């Protein structure tokens, strides 16, 4: 892989809830990874594994308990003036999972989309503002007539397009898409994914794509991270992860996806994952290690050697 | 094979403020003993309404069965009195709902919820019913059933709750089990467990299952036969192999090619343009015509009848008419057809000719 520019560096990110109390939850526990400029990074895992929390902590919807998020070398968390924060918010945007809950039902579509434009003062005049809205609507495959309608007049797929238009309004560099398609019908999912891919190419965007639909993640992502119980257990280029999953949890996750293919379904063997199967000793250090270039696995020293041996074959 | 359930020319409408929504517009299908029939389609295609009408769970104040019959055991379920229906519901026909978080009563111990149908339908004593409830929990794979039986739903995880729901549905050994998106709310790993459990239980107690889902992967995993619904109608029905490897309807083509499989590397995903039809004013001809890239003039004027592809496989598209022009299905579908011809020889039930439209086409 050619040396790519790092857009985002996440270092030992920790997000604990109810800290200090008996019901403390380590939602994100010591997660580190990088996102390169112009790539799509996929994040998968079961519900409750901390993938959404990771996304939300990166964009500072939560204050991190520990660790840092560097965007272009600048720490996202930590003390900032209002102006700095505003600037940062313009570069990073989010698309939410539920298109029914994420649009204010009392605002017209034009105002939903233009909210960011207003806050950041990106429009010179009222006319300019509306022109930007029209342009955005057309970019995401809607009509300019839609600007004066309310959210309830749209279908789920259309609403998700509006959500995308809103994210694009402030001309961001980086978009976090938190399960953007899981609330949509199959035939509409493909439309939205195609749109996101096309926009990425045209505008040179970088995505963090969070989802549990692994086949769609494989399709859209360049690299994929797998999370389990707040920890990143494996990170690799999309093809590698699917062809050569090393961590037993990744293997079990991949073996659980039903394929639209009756013949292979009949012969499918499902693997289940038991965290106790590692048999880690007390003094073994479990770290995120690079087994092969670009392929990281959470493992002990002993497993690390096994995985490396696996690669040589 | 013997039929356990027959749905004949079912038409259902909802009366709303904006007018009459024709949710089901002439649905026909049979369910055989011991089989799993999957119904697939987008939201609003009528799959849930069809099954709710079998259970007679549609709201009485605004829904209307315009015509048709649902025959179960020689009885027409659409004509039964409420009291007689109560004897069938939960006993002979039972249902698993989509969301395990809301389909259990949060204020009742799960044991009591499982015992309810046993006491009602089988006149069991409370004591015997509790024994049976513990057995059922064991059957669906819940550890320590003796303790769990006295717990409340909030003490269970999503996957475990769905197991409880399945236990309730199976309590009276139903002849027909309707599963309405039973795994959609669950994670893939839990989904795989639940699917395995359902297949396993089907073998043990020999029920017929109607499985509603929009996930084609799940369909491939569980179904013997598949019915594809669109705009309130079944547009294609056949065995799982026929639907997945030799689909005929352009909507089925679209569904199958819009799902990326693990080998998809195409630049752009195939997507079906447009949105589902408005059933307030259903289109005159084929409901799929406005989104159909292979649309012909007749699609806009007249609804296509079912054309026979094989003894088990029917599709409602004018493309199967002898006079229709030959069209090339999308790449992904062609890949499947050729792959299928490679793995399954001709004479295995499905006659696949070199011709894209196998078999003799005749109107049904």
pLDDT of residue B264: 60
In contact, B298 and B335? CB cutoff 8 Å: no
Question: Which pLDDT band holds residue B19 (cuts at 50, 70, 90)?
Answer: confident
Give me the percent of chain A exceeding a pLDDT of 70.
99
Percent of chain B residues topping a pLDDT of 70: 91
- Looking at residue B328, the DSSP 8-state letter turns out to be P
Mean pLDDT of A304-308: 89
pLDDT band at residue A177 using 50, 70 and 90 as cut-offs: very high
Band the pLDDT of B360: cuts 50, 70, 90: very low
Q: At B346, is the pLDDT very low, low, confident or very high (cuts 50, 70, 90)?
A: very low
Mutation target among A258, A268, A273 for the B interface, most CBs of B within 10 A:
A258
Q: In the predicted model, is pLDDT for residue B359 greater than 60?
A: no
For A21-31, write each residue's pLDDT tens digit: 888 888 999 99
Contact A41, A225 (CB under 8 A): yes
For chain B, report the end-to-end CA distance as a whole number of angstroms. 21
CA distance A240 to chain B (A): 12
Question: Distance between CA A228 and CA B168 in Å, rounded?
Answer: 32
User: Which residue of B42, B188, B223 is in closest CB contact with A187?
Assistant: B42
What is the tens place of the pLDDT at every residue in B162-183? 999 999 998 998 999 999 988 8
B220-248 pLDDT, tens digit each: 999 999 999 999 999 999 999 999 999 99
C-alpha to C-alpha distance for A272 and B340, rounded to whole angstroms: 30
**CB contact B195 to A (< 8 Å):** yes
**Set of chain A residues whose Cβ sits within 8 Å of the Cβ of B187:** 46-47, 212
- Answer for the pair B309, B248: CB distance below 8 angstroms, yes or no: yes
**B185 has pLDDT over 80:** no
Q: What is the mean pLDDT of residues A301-312?
A: 86
Q: Average pLDDT of chain A? A: 88
Nearest to residue A161, comparing CAs of A116, A147, A174?
A147
The reply to whether residue A258 touches residue B192, judged by beta carbons under 8 angstroms, is: yes
Integer Cα distance of A39 and A13 in angstroms? 21
Q: Give the SS3 label for residue A150.
A: coil
B116 or B350: which carries more pLDDT confidence? B116
In chain A, the residue whose alpha carbon lies closest to the alpha carbon of B275 is A188
| Closest chain A residue to B344, measured at CA | A263
- A243 min Cα distance to partner chain B (Å): 10
Residue B31 DSSP class:
E
Q: How far is B270 from chain A (nearest CA, A)?
A: 7
Q: What's the CA gap between B10 and B28, in Å, rounded? A: 7
Put simply, the answer to whether A268 touches B221 (Cβ < 8 Å) is yes
Q: Which of A15-19, B26-30, B273-277, B339-343 has the highest mean pLDDT?
A: B26-30
CB-CB under 8 Å, A186 with B187: no
Residues facing residue B93 across a β-bridge:
B89, B176
Virtual torsion, Cα B243, B249, B254, B260, nearest 10 deg? 20
B70-88 pLDDT, tens per residue? Answer: 999 889 999 999 999 999 9
Structure token pair of residue A222 = 């360049």
B223 chain-A contacts, CB cut-off 8 A: 262
For B262, the closest of A193, A215, A262 (CB atoms) is: A215
- Separation between Cα atoms, residue B238 and residue B242, nearest integer Å: 6
A243, containing H or E segment: helix A238-243
- In terms of DSSP bridges, do strands B75-76 and B93-96 run parallel, antiparallel, or are they unpaired? unpaired
Q: Do A194 and B271 touch (CB under 8 A)?
A: yes
Domain B3-223 fold is Rossmann fold (3.40.50)
A281-290, B132-141, B192-201, B254-263: least confident range: B254-263
Output the furthest CA–CA distance in chain B (Å, rounded).
Answer: 68
Please report, for residues A17, A56, B88, B253, the alpha-carbon distance to residue A24 in angstroms, rounded to integers and kept in the order given. 6, 19, 48, 49
A 10 A CB-CB count for B128 gives 14
The pTM for the full model equals 0.82
Tell me the H-state helices in chain A.
51-58, 82-91, 109-119, 126-139, 156-168, 186-203, 214-220, 238-243, 248-256, 262-266, 301-312
The Cα of B254 is separated from the nearest Cα of chain A by a number of Å equal to 8
Rg from Cα positions in chain B: 22
The predicted model gives B150-159 an average pLDDT of 90
Chain A residues near any Cβ of chain B (below 8 Å): 46-47, 155, 157-158, 185-191, 193-194, 197-198, 212, 214-216, 218-219, 242, 252-253, 255-265, 268, 270, 272-273
Query: Which of A182, A187, A193, A195 would best serve as a mutation to test chain B binding (most B beta carbons within 10 A)?
Result: A187
- The b-or-e profile of B37-65 (16+ CB within 10 A means b, else e) is bbbbbbbbbbbbbbbbbbbbebeeeebeb
**pLDDT of B350 higher than 80:** no
> What's the CA gap between B232 and B276, in Å, rounded?
11
- Coil, strand or helix: which one is A297? strand
Q: H/E element holding A52?
A: helix A51-58
Nearest Cα of chain B lies from the Cα of A264 at a distance, in angstroms, of: 9
CATH 3.40.50.300 occupies which residues in chain B? Answer: 3-223
Of all residues in chain B, what percent carry a pLDDT higher than 90?
52
Q: Are strands A231-237 and A295-299 parallel, antiparallel or unpaired?
A: antiparallel
Q: Which of residues 21-80 of B touch A (CB under 8 A)?
A: 42-43
- The two three-digit tokens of residue A79, written as one number: 């003390």
Predicted confidence at residue B73, as pLDDT, reads 86
Range B289-309 average pLDDT: 91
Looking at the predicted structure, is the pLDDT value of residue B342 above 60?
Answer: no
CA separation for the pair A309, A305 (Å, rounded): 6
Percentage of the residues of chain A whose pLDDT score is greater than 90: 46
C-alpha distance from A50 to closest chain B C-alpha (Å): 14
Q: How far apart are CA A221 and CA B163, in angstroms?
A: 34
CA distances from A149 to A136, A165, B275 (A): 15, 15, 18
Q: Where are the beta strands (DSSP E) in chain A?
A: 6-17, 25-36, 40-44, 66-71, 74-75, 92-95, 174-178, 206-210, 223-228, 231-237, 287-292, 295-299
For residues B358 and B364, what is the distance between their CA atoms, to the nearest angstrom?
16
In angstroms, the CA A190 to CA B259 distance is 7
Contact B189 A252 (CB under 8 A): yes
Q: List C-alpha distances in Å: A14 to A243, B171, B203.
A: 30, 46, 47
C-alpha closest to that of B141 among B96, B103, B207, B195: B195
**pLDDT reported for residue B27:** 94
Q: B157 to chain A: which residues are within 8 Å by CB? A: none
Q: Which tops the pLDDT comparison, A100 or B52? A: B52
Name the residue in chain A with its Cα closest to that of B159. Answer: A47
CA–CA dist B19, B258 (Å, integer): 33
> Is residue B110 within 8 Å of B149, Cβ to Cβ?
yes
Ranges assigned E (strand) in B99-257: 176-180, 208-213, 225-230, 233-239
* DSSP3 helix / strand / coil % (chain B, rounded to 5): 35, 25, 40
Cα B300 to chain centroid, rounded? 28
Q: Do A265 and B241 touch (CB under 8 A)?
A: no
More confident call, B93 vs A266: B93
Other CB atoms within 10 A of residue A284 CB: 14
User: How many Å apart are CA A158 and CA A137, to the nearest integer?
Assistant: 10
Instruction: Enter the ipTM.
Output: 0.74
Interface contact flag, A272 B260, Cβ < 8 Å? no
Cα dihedral B143, B145, B146, B149 sign:
positive
pLDDT tops 90 at residue A100? no
Residue B81 has a CB neighbour count (10 Å cut-off) of 7
Distance (Å, whole) CA B284 – CA B300 = 7
According to the model, what pLDDT value does residue B348 have? 36
Beta strands in A152-308 (DSSP E): 174-178, 206-210, 223-228, 231-237, 287-292, 295-299
Q: How many Å lie between the alpha carbon of B57 and the closest alpha carbon of chain A?
A: 24
Place of tokens 């389909």: B103
| CA B221-B224-B226 angle, 5° bins | 90
- Collect all residues with Cβ–Cβ distance below 8 Å to A81 and sequence separation of at least 6: none
Q: How many CB atoms lie within 10 A of CB B124?
A: 18
Q: Residue B279 is encoded by which pair of tokens?
A: 């059933």
| Nearest-CA distance B320 → chain A (Å) | 23
Contact flag A155-B275 (C-beta cutoff 8 Å): yes
Query: Which domains, from first to last, does chain A contain?
Result: 6-229 (3.40.50.300)
Q: Quick one: pLDDT at residue B260?
A: 75
- pLDDT at residue B1 is higher than 80: no
């Amino acid at each position: 892989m050619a040396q790519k520019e790092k857009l985002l560096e996440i270092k030992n990110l920790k997000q604990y809830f109810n800290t200090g109390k008996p019901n403390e939850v380590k939602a994100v526990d010591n997660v580190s990874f990088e996102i390169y400029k112009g790539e799509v990074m996929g994040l998968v895992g079961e519900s409750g594994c901390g993938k959404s929390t990771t996304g939300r902590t990166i964009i500072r919807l939560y204050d991190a308990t520990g660790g840092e998020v560097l965007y272009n070398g600048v720490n996202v968390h930590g003390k900032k003036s209002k102006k700095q924060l505003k600037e940062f918010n313009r570069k990073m945007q989010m698309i939410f999972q539920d298109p029914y809950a994420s649009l204010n039902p009392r605002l017209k579509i034009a105002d939903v989309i233009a909210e960011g434009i207003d806050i950041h003062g990106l429009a010179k005049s009222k006319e300019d503002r509306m022109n930007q809205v029209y342009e955005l609507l057309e970019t995401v495959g809607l009509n300019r007539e839609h600007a004066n309608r309310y959210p309830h007049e749209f279908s789920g797929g259309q609403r998700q397009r509006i959500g995308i238009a809103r994210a694009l309004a402030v001309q961001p560099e980086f978009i976090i898409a938190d399960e953007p398609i899981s609330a949509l019908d199959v035939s509409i999912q493909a439309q939205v994914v195609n749109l996101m891919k096309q926009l990425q190419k045209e505008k040179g965007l970088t995505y963090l794509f969070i989802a549990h639909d692994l086949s769609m993640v494989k399709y859209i992502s360049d690299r994929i991270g797998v999370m389990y119980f707040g920890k990143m257990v494996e990170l690799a280029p999309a093809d590698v992860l699917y062809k050569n999953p090393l961590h037993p949890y990744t293997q079990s996750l991949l073996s659980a996806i039903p394929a639209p293919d009756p013949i292979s379904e009949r012969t499918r063997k499902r693997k289940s994952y038991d965290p106790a199967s590692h048999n880690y000793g007390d003094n073994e250090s479990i770290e995120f290690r690079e087994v092969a270039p670009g392929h990281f696995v959470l493992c002990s020293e002993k497993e690390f050697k096994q995985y490396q041996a696996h690669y040589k074959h | 094979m013997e039929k356990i359930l027959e749905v004949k020319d079912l038409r259902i409408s909802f009366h709303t403020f904006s007018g009459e929504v024709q949710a089901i517009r002439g649905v026909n299908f049979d369910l055989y003993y011991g089989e799993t029939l999957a119904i697939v389609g987008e939201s609003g295609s009528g799959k849930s309404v069809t099954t709710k009408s079998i259970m007679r769970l549609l709201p009485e104040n605004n829904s209307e069965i315009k015509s048709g019959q649902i025959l179960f055991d020689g009885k027409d379920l659409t004509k039964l009195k409420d009291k007689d229906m109560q004897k069938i519901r939960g006993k002979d026909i039972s249902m698993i709902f989509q969301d395990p978080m809301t389909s259990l009563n949060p204020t009742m111990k799960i044991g009591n919820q499982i015992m309810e149908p046993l006491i009602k339908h089988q006149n069991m004593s409370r004591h015997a019913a509790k024994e049976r409830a513990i057995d059922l929990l064991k059957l669906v794979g819940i550890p320590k059933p003796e303790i769990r039986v006295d717990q409340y739903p909030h003490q269970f995880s999503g996957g475990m709750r769905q197991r409880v729901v399945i236990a309730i549905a199976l309590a009276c050994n139903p002849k027909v089990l309707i599963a309405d998106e039973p795994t959609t709310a669950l994670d893939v790993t839990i989904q795989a467990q639940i699917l395995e459990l359902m297949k396993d239980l089907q073998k043990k107690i020999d029920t017929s299952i109607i499985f509603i889902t929009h996930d084609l992967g799940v369909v491939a995993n569980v179904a013997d036969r598949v019915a594809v619904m669109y705009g309130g109608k079944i547009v294609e029905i056949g065995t799982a192999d026929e639907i997945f490897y030799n689909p005929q309807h352009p909507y089925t083509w679209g569904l199958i090619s819009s799902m990326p499989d693990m080998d998809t590397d195409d630049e752009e995903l195939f997507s079906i343009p447009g949105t589902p039809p408005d059933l307030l004013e259903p289109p005159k001809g084929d409901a799929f015509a406005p989104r159909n890239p292979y649309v012909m003039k007749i699609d806009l004027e007249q609804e296509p009848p079912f054309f026979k592809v094989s003894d088990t496989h029917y599709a409602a598209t004018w493309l199967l008419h002898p006079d229709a022009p030959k069209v090339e299905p999308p790449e992904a579908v062609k890949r499947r057809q050729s792959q299928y011809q490679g793995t399954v020889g001709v004479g295995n039930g499905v006659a696949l000719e070199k011709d894209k439209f196998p078999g003799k086409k005749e109107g049904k």
